[in-house]
Chain A
Amino acid sequence: SQQGEEDPQALSIQEGENATMNCSYKTSINNLQWYRQNSGRGLVHLILIRSNEREKHSGRLRVTLDTSKKSSSLLITASRAADTASYFCATDAAGYSTLTFGKGTMLLVSP
């Protein structure tokens, strides 16, 4: 079963705009990770945030984690056409002993 659920399922924006994607999960976690996938290729690890962290940055990416609401958000600032991809959250949930993925958000950035 899916542990994480991304919202929205699809997002379409213009270059230069910010993109925000959300992830909700069901059980307590040790960490939450975000991945990007371009058109049926392998996934690329973007960022990992641990359960005792509230915010993390990496370049144009900002991830927040609210364990009380069991949710996370990924913000991509100043989006580029090259950011067009599917974005997945994945959780290392207590009792699962593996990384469990959501179904992803498809982001389309138009020039």
Chain B
Amino acid sequence: KAGVTQTPRYLIKTRGQQVTLSCSPISGHRSVSWYQQTPGQGLQFLFEYFSETQRNKGNFPGRFSGRQFSNSRSEMNVSTLELGDSALYLCASSLAGQGIDGYTFGSGTRLTVV
């Protein structure tokens, strides 16, 4: 079966711009979680969506937002980009979410803010 697809793979943006990242989960998975990975902070939880509802949110500013569509595809948006937003953004899909079962990760979107 198809894995988790994240697009785009790489992005270069300028400070102050906004960016939208996309994630298509495994067919049948209703939970999509987003993580930010940086060398200094490791994997930080951003938010989780389940059946189009945000079920949980990490400790990130309001510039980070997301949504989930009826087909379970999810997008995350970062507005007013800062240099510190440069990171690998990973999405993960699972059946139940909330860490109850194993997650399947996409390959990530590498965002560079200049």
What per-residue 1/0 map shows which CB atoms of A85-111 lie under 8 Å from chain B? 000101111001111111110000000
Tell me if B8 counts as interface (CB < 8 A to partner A).
no
Determine the chain B residues whose CB is within 8 A of the CB of A102 once the complex forms. Answer: 42
Secondary structure at the B interface, as helix, strand, loop or mixed, is strand
What per-residue 1/0 map shows which CB atoms of B94-114 lie under 8 Å from chain A? 000011111111111010000
Determine the chain B residues whose CB is within 8 A of the CB of A41 once the complex forms. Answer: 107-108
Determine the chain B residues whose CB is within 8 A of the CB of A90 once the complex forms. Answer: 99
Instruction: Give A residues with C-beta under 8 Å from B.
Output: 2, 30-31, 33, 35, 40-45, 48, 88, 90-93, 96-104
Q: How far is the CB of B48 from chain A (nearest CB, A)?
A: 6
B45-A98 in contact (CB<8A)? yes
Distance of A51 Cα from B100 Cα, bound (Å): 12
Q: Which of A2, A48, A98, A100 contacts B101 (CB 8 A)?
A: A48
Distance of A103 Cα from B6 Cα, bound (Å): 23
Residues of chain B at interface, number, CB under 8 A: 26
Q: How far is the CB of A40 from chain B (nearest CB, A)?
A: 6
A44-B105 in contact (CB<8A)? yes
Known: A40-B110, A42-B90, A92-B98. A101 touches B104 (CB 8 A): no
Determine the chain B residues whose CB is within 8 A of the CB of A99 once the complex forms. Answer: 33, 45, 92, 98-99, 103
Tell me if B56 counts as interface (CB < 8 A to partner A).
yes
Distance of A98 Cα from B34 Cα, bound (Å): 11
Mark out the residues of chain B between 67 and 114 whose CB falls within 8 Å of any chain A CB in the assembled complex.
88, 90, 92, 98-108, 110
Determine the chain B residues whose CB is within 8 A of the CB of A2 once the complex forms. Answer: 42
Determine the chain A residues whose CB is within 8 A of the CB of B6 once the complex forms. Answer: 42
Known: A42-B106, A42-B107, A97-B55. A88 touches B101 (CB 8 A): no
Distance of A93 Cα from B98 Cα, bound (Å): 10
Determine the chain A residues whose CB is within 8 A of the CB of B107 once the complex forms. Answer: 41-42
Q: How far is the CB of A39 from chain B (nearest CB, A)?
A: 11
Beyond A43-B92, A45-B102, A97-B99: 11 further Cβ-contacts under 8 Å? A2-B42, A35-B103, A35-B105, A40-B110, A43-B105, A44-B105, A45-B103, A99-B33, A99-B45, A99-B103, A100-B45
